[in-house]
Amino acid sequence: MFKRIILSILFSGFLLQGISTASANTSKSLKYPIILVCGAFCFDSVLGYDYWYGIRSRLIKEGADVYVVNLSSLSDNFTRGEELVDDIQKVLAIADAPKANLIAHSQGALASRYAAYIIPGQIASITSVHGLNKGLHYASGLLAAVPGENDVLENILSFFPNWAFNFLEIISTPSRDGEFNSETRPLNQSFVTMGHATTPEAVAEFNQQYPAGLPKQDCMAINNGTTGEVAANHYGDHLVTLYDDNGPHTIRFYSWGGNEETTTNTELFDLFSRYFVKYFVQWSVADPDNYEWDGFMPTCGHALGKVIRLDYTATHFDAINQIAGIPWFNGVSIPAIYASHVSRLRADNL
């Protein structure tokens, strides 16, 4: 399945993605640059095909100065967080900017939230897109089904994704920001490590250490578990003040998400969600149909800070316009969602 996904991405890139060069409209530029932070299974650009398909170029057209970072594809939240901290500082040096606006997908939201506590003075805002703020319930189910980190079956199941994403690290090329490319990540990608780091239990521990922007209610425990909704007045704080040796720093938190489990029922990510993720979710959630999902995680877990919307007709990978703009089949323009967010950041003087 992972091999099919990777090959699909690569071939889709050759067939469908033209290389465009969009220049920024400086008359409406943002105050701070945008850094796009990828989630698990991430890369910046592979053989000309971007993780953020068609999104970076659209942001540039809206007047943003955009950089793409590449974090370890399969790793824990703290390793990825430290990688992001290092990349943020390098980007700011290149951009000659004091702060950055982070837009993070999936597990990238956790890395961004970690970075906010380490270098709060260098982050203007964090936007969580289909963020993994409540964890991956299928990870708990998978680990429960294959117990023990050294279990033979677990090692067999993890062999291919480990190999595949180590290979991705090798062939990942500079994304088309022209100035910055993350260094090649260590070739020790581990599906098991990522799985243990993204269970709801592990993410709950992470949230206790880095709670900024989180909702004040547990969305998975409202109304005896019959709904995953969080009342608007219980969303997390939009403005959060964090401290370092230089004093207080205010960071704005935003989020959006979707509640579509599949896009076409034939697209590769949809098949993975329908037949793999959904099966293992049942191992850790008694009544998964009580909740809305984006195909990988509960929609209510997308909420962080100021919630823009949680009901986009989009799956987890639709959120980054994959594969090759296929969310169009649901009538959703993913790049347009990001473009509207640039206007939002500009209005907030970011």
Splitting the chain (350 residues) into consecutive groups of 10 residues, what average pLDDT does each group show?
A: 38 37 52 94 73 92 92 89 95 95 96 98 97 83 63 61 59 60 66 84 95 87 65 80 95 93 68 62 65 81 92 89 72 90 96
Name the pTM for this structure: 0.83
Per-residue pLDDT at 35 = 96
Q: Which domain holds residue 83?
A: 2-347
- The total number of structural domains that make up the chain: 1
Residue positions counted in the chain: 350
- Contact, 36 vs 42, CB < 8 A? no
Nearby residues of 165 by Cβ (< 8 Å), 6 or more positions away: 41, 73, 74, 189, 191
Summarised one tens digit per residue, pLDDT across range 6-64 is 434 333 443 334 333 333 444 468 999 999 999 888 876 666 778 898 999 999 999 99
Instruction: For residues 65 and 86, give the distance between their C-alpha atoms in angstroms, rounded to a whole number.
Output: 19
Helix (H, G, I), strand (E, B) or coil at 234: helix
Per-residue pLDDT at 239 = 93
Exposed, middle or buried, 330 (CB in 10 Å: 0-12/13-18/19+)?
A: middle
Per-residue pLDDT at 251 = 98
Dihedral sign, Cα of residue 281, residue 287, residue 289, residue 294: negative
Summarised one tens digit per residue, pLDDT across range 242-269 is 999 999 999 999 999 998 877 776 666 6
Helices marked H in 216-309: 268-272, 278-281
* CATH of residue 260: 3.40.50.1820
Helix, strand counts (H, E) of the chain: 11, 10
84 membership: H or E segment, kind and range: helix 77-95
